[in-house]
Amino acid sequence: MTKIYFVRHAQPDLSVQDDLLRPLTEKGIVDSKKVTEFLLDRGITKIFSSPYKRTYDTVKDFADKSNLDINIIEDFRERKIDDVWIEDFNTFAKEQWNNFDYKLERGESLNEVQKRNIAALLKIIKENPRENIVIGTHGTALSTIINYYDKNFDYSEFERIKPLMPHIVYINFEGDKATEMKEFIL
């Protein structure tokens, strides 16, 4: 049995449009301490994270207090929308959820995001059986993982969790099969 706690990042500073370098807000920094408190007694043995600053910083306090390294996994990065800032994100997101292959010219489809996230996840499960693991992630990336295991997770569910930052989803795996899923709102 492998236990994985997916931690969606805390509140980011949207005034910084560089997706890779976008930091947490002051509220996000405070909320990352809630993540630490939640995870401290879960017997976590490994931490993995997207390379994006807001995600790394959300799990960093917990890593420091637990004396664990954060292993960066490039494939856990958030979906690339395009090379330019999208003003009408909601319309774009709805179109992607209606058509998992929809993408802008220099962006990724939800199918592509899901495939790379699931491949990275399955590799971690295979290499770390029977571990308790934290994976720092993003709203869309996490949503595609949940959708892979629960097809009822659709656009309305994505909309429901969109404001939840930080957000933790626990999935228990027997081998590579998800056997239990729980959501924690901090």
**Cα separation of 157 and 185, whole Å?**
14
Domain span at residue 65 reads 2-185
**Letter string b/e over residues 91-101, b meaning 16 or more CB atoms within 10 A of that residue's CB:** ebbeebbeeee
Predicted confidence at residue 88, as pLDDT, reads: 87
Token duo for residue 122:
């399955």
Predicted confidence at residue 85, as pLDDT, reads: 78
| pLDDT tens per residue across all 186 residues of the chain | 999 999 999 999 999 988 899 999 999 999 999 999 999 999 999 999 999 999 999 999 999 999 999 999 999 999 988 887 788 888 999 999 999 999 999 999 999 999 999 999 999 999 999 999 999 999 999 999 999 999 999 999 999 999 999 999 999 999 999 999 999 988
3-state secondary structure of 118: helix
CB 67 within 8 A of CB 37: no
Predicted confidence at residue 41, as pLDDT, reads: 96
Which CATH number covers residue 140? 3.40.50.1240
- Strand partners of residue 165: none
Helices (H), the chain: 26-39, 53-66, 89-98, 110-127, 139-149, 155-161
The 10s digit of each residue's pLDDT in 112-143 is 999 999 999 999 999 999 999 999 999 999 99
- Count of structural domains within the chain: 1
**Cα separation of 166 and 31, whole Å?**
7
Predicted confidence at residue 139, as pLDDT, reads: 94
- The contacts of residue 68 (CB under 8 Å, 6+ apart) are 44, 45, 46, 47, 62
Evaluate if pTM is beyond 0.85: yes
Predicted confidence at residue 66, as pLDDT, reads: 98
CB 134 within 8 A of CB 47: yes
